[in-house]
């Protein structure tokens, strides 16, 4: 869980930058912070642990919301591919 908390903090910082950009440059309002932080934390954790399906189940069980299933599994698959590409397991 400490790794997941670090991932949430990093995702929150990235969200703040994106939110400021969309608010001042693109003039778009009404984005939900929790969705971006959850998917960003899942991507960061998935790239470090290289688990896809089991991590998806863990995150969905922790949130209690099945509607995040498809975005989380797609994010974890892409993060695993990027982790394998940049740091292949020998």
pLDDT digits (tens, 9 = 90+) for 41-62: 888 888 888 888 888 888 888 8
DSSP H or E segment with residue 66: none
Cβ proximity of 19 and 31 under 8 Å:
yes
Q: How many folded domains does the chain comprise?
A: 1
DSSP E strand boundaries for 1-90: none
Q: What gap in Å lies between CA 53 and CA 37, rounded to an integer?
A: 19
Q: Average pLDDT of 22-30?
A: 66
Integer Cα distance of 40 and 19 in angstroms? 14
Query: What Rg do the C-alpha atoms of the chain give, in angstroms?
Result: 14
d(CA 26, CA 18): 11
Domain of residue 25 covers 2-86
- What is residue 25's predicted lDDT score, i.e. its pLDDT? 67
Summary mean pLDDT of the chain: 78
The yes-or-no verdict on residue 31 having pLDDT over 80 is no
Task: Say whether pLDDT at 2 is over 80.
Answer: no
Alpha-carbon distances of 85 from 2, 44, 53, 56, 81, rounded to whole Å: 25, 15, 19, 21, 6
């Amino acid at each position: 869980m400490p790794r997941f908390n670090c991932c949430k903090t990093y995702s929150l910082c990235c969200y703040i930058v994106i939110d400021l950009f969309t608010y001042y440059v693109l003039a778009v309002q009404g984005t939900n912070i929790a969705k971006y932080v959850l998917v960003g934390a899942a991507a960061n954790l998935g790239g470090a642990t290289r688990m896809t399906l089991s991590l998806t189940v863990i995150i969905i069980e922790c949130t209690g919301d099945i509607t995040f299933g498809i975005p989380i599994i797609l994010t974890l698959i892409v993060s695993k591919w990027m982790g394998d590409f940049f740091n292949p397991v020998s």
